Amino acid sequence: MDNKSSSPWVRILVVATLITMLVDLYLIFEFAPTERAMGHVQRIFYFHVPSAWVAFLAFFIVFIGSVGYLWKRDRKYDMIAHSAAEIGVLFATLVMITGPIWGRPVWNTWWEWSPRLTLFLVLWFIYIAYMMLRSFVEGEERSARFAAVFGIVGFVDVPIVHLSIRLWRDIHPSPVIAGGDGSGLHPDMKITFFFSLFTFTLLFFWLLVQRLRLEKSTVATSELKKQIAY
Amino acid sequence: MSAVFVILWKDLLSEFRTKEMVLSMLVFSLMVAVIFNFSFPPGSEFIQQAAPGILWMTLVFASLLGMNRSFVYEVDKGCMQGLMLAPVNRTAIYLSKLLVNFIFITIVELVVLPLFSVFFKLEVLHVAGQLALIMFLGTLGFTIIGTLFSAISVNTKTREVMLPILHFPVSIPIIICSVQATTAVLQEQGWQVLWGWCKLIVVFDIIFLIVAYFTFEFIIEE
């Protein structure tokens, strides 16, 4: 097995992620102005939205990995899908935790069946099911194949779920970034927000690289075990 | 196409001789409907508003019971290898299983719906046609997903447990639309509302069918 830790690109990624994370913390807690109506709790927005973005990115990579695996039958694609799914579930969980912390003081409720919340909850369930499926199937090749099918169906389901629950009343704040009346952020907030997005994306790729290394060592270990056993 | 009907006929015949699937689904769904009834105070008005949701949950639970079994005999008795050795398109196996499940659930629905309307004091006779349309589309939707996933779950360690875990999150759109459409019919919200939801179910059915059609052969190959 090649040792990817020595790759200069990974080192650059690690250093860049660590630096941007520190800068991001400064931006979030010092640089960004305090929101007038909501107060400090609004700062959770810089964690909440980027986490949601990373979760969506991760699930998209699960989809790409799944299609790639069924097409090329290369173990590599399955490893990518598996790793991305795990990180996606982690960040989706973070979204589900940070959301209520913000929602309790601002909406006066921990949970609301608004379309976006419901969508995320369903999304979370789909990828929890994906992880469970992986662990309940015997045989690596079969597990990869089934997971790939479910990864594809699950991802195709996302816009469908979104469409079907959008018709309900929505109390989620309308997108503040992409324009519309009464939207718009303070410029400093905007800088912080986009920097946060960038930081979380870097963090995602770093975690993905680490998770892939772990997966590769797991495969290598089981290969070695087989060689010893037989 | 004839391969689809041969497999379909085989399954219908074995079901006709044992009657075990349809009968257990039927009894199960009636019991679920009765138990749901106890979750409301006696004589409550809410029960009529909640009836569409209860109806669909009952049907989905019952159908999972049936769909769980759709590949069990094939895999356990080694019949799956026979099917796969046969010189037919792999997707014929999927389509026939889909039809079998759909027919079984439709039979169950034909019995359950009248009894359900009696239990829950619903006026369904004058809207029977519209309800039949919703039943057809909704049932087709969750059978498309369920048949695909039952081919997966039959090969997992936990079998019966795995199917609902895979099935529920993915079929949520179908269930939402079916419940809303049924509510629209029972509360006489008009054709416009009903048609809106039905259109959505049709689109979802088509999308899921296409995805299932292309992914099924990856599940059963080995």
Q: B71 pLDDT exceeds 80?
A: yes
Helix (H, G, I), strand (E, B) or coil at A39: strand
User: What pLDDT does residue A152 have?
Assistant: 94
Q: Closest Cα of chain B to A191: distance in Å?
A: 36
Structure confidence at residue A176 (pLDDT): 56
Distance CA(A29)–CA(A46), nearest Å, equals: 10
By C-alpha distance, the chain B residue nearest A155 is B170
Interface test with B, best of A67, A122, A128, A160 (most B CBs within 10 A): A160
pLDDT in tens, B113-170: 999 888 888 888 888 889 999 999 999 999 999 999 999 999 888 888 899 999 999 9
Q: Do B207 and A160 touch (CB under 8 A)?
A: yes
For the cut 60, the answer to whether the pLDDT of residue A41 exceeds it is yes
Which residues of chain B from 123 to 152 reach within 8 Å of chain A, CB to CB? 145, 148-149, 152
Mutate to test the interface with A, among B201, B202, B215, B219 (most CBs of A within 10 A): B215
Contact B63, B28 (CB under 8 A): no
What is the reported pLDDT for A58? Answer: 95
Instruction: Look at residue A184 and tell me whether its pLDDT is greater than 80.
Output: no
CB-CB contact of A63 with A38 (8 Å): no
The pLDDT of residue A180 is 47
Structure tokens at A13: 């990624």
Total domains, chain B: 1
Q: How big is chain B, counted in residues?
A: 222
* B7, B93 contact by CB (below 8 A): yes
pLDDT tens across B76-110, in order? Answer: 888 888 888 888 888 888 999 999 999 999 999 99
Share of chain A above pLDDT 90, in %: 40
The two three-digit tokens of residue A161, written as one number: 């779920």
Q: What average pLDDT score do residues A196-212 get?
A: 91
**Which residues, in sequence order, are CB contacts of B104 under 8 Å at separation 6+?**
B15, B21, B22, B25, B66
Cβ contacts of B85 within 8 Å, gap of 6 or more: none
Distance CA B70, CA B100 (A): 8
Distance CA B106, CA B129 (A): 14
Please give the mean pLDDT across all residues of chain A: 85
- Using pLDDT thresholds of 50, 70 and 90, give the confidence band for residue B111: very high
**Per-residue pLDDT tens over the stretch B188-198:** 888 888 888 89
Beta bridge partners of A35: A39
Q: Is A35 helix (H, G, I), strand (E, B) or coil?
A: strand
Question: Which of A63-77, A166-180, A181-195 is modeled with the greatest confidence?
Answer: A63-77
Whether residue A68 has pLDDT greater than 90: yes
Which has more pLDDT, A181 or A228?
A228
Cβ neighbours of A180 (radius 10 Å): 10
A182 has a pLDDT exceeding 60 = no
Q: Is B17 on the interface with A (CB under 8 A)?
A: no
Query: Nearest to residue A107, comparing CAs of A195, A187, A170?
Result: A170
Range of B39's domain? 2-220
Average pLDDT of chain B?
Answer: 88
Both tokens assigned to B94: 């999927």
Q: Chain B: nearest CA to A149, how far in angstroms?
A: 6
How close, in Å, is residue B181 to chain A by CA atoms? Answer: 12
pLDDT of residue A175: 57
Alpha carbon of A79: minimum distance to chain B alpha carbons (Å): 18
Report B:163-192 residues touching A (Cβ under 8 A).
Answer: 165-166, 168-170, 172-173, 176-177, 180
What's the per-residue H, E or C state across B37-52? HCCCCCCCCHHHHHHH
Q: Percentage of residues in chain B with pLDDT exceeding 90? A: 44
How far apart CA B186 and CA B198 sit, in angstroms, is 15
Q: Do A160 and B173 touch (CB under 8 A)?
A: yes
Given a cut of 50, whether residue A17 has pLDDT beyond it is yes
What are the angstrom distances between the C-alpha of B77 and each of B41, B74, B82, B218?
Answer: 48, 6, 10, 21
* pTM confidence score: 0.86
Q: How confident is the model at residue A81 (pLDDT cuts 50, 70, 90)?
A: very high
Cα–Cα distance for residue pair A93/B140, rounded to 1 Å: 33
Is the per-residue pLDDT at A24 higher than 50? yes
**pLDDT in the model for residue A102:** 86
What pLDDT is stored for residue A1 in this prediction? 41
Q: Is the pLDDT of residue A226 over 60?
A: yes
Looking at per-residue confidence, does A158 or B78 come out higher?
A: A158
* % of chain B surpassing 70 pLDDT: 99
- Nearest-angstrom CA–CA distance, A101 and A110: 7
- What is the predicted pLDDT for the residue at A170? 46
Task: Please give the Cα distance from A98 to A28 (Å, whole number).
Answer: 15
Residue B212 near chain A (CB below 8 Å)? yes
Mean of pLDDT values over A41-48? 87
How far apart CA A65 and CA A83 sit, in angstroms, is 10
Q: Is B145 helix (H, G, I), strand (E, B) or coil?
A: helix
Q: Percentage helix, strand, coil, to 5, in chain B?
A: 85, 0, 15
Whole-number pLDDT of residue A174: 56
Q: Residue B157 and residue A163: Cβ atoms within 8 Å?
A: no
Question: What distance in Å separates the CA atoms of residue B25 and residue B112, rounded to the nearest whole number?
Answer: 10
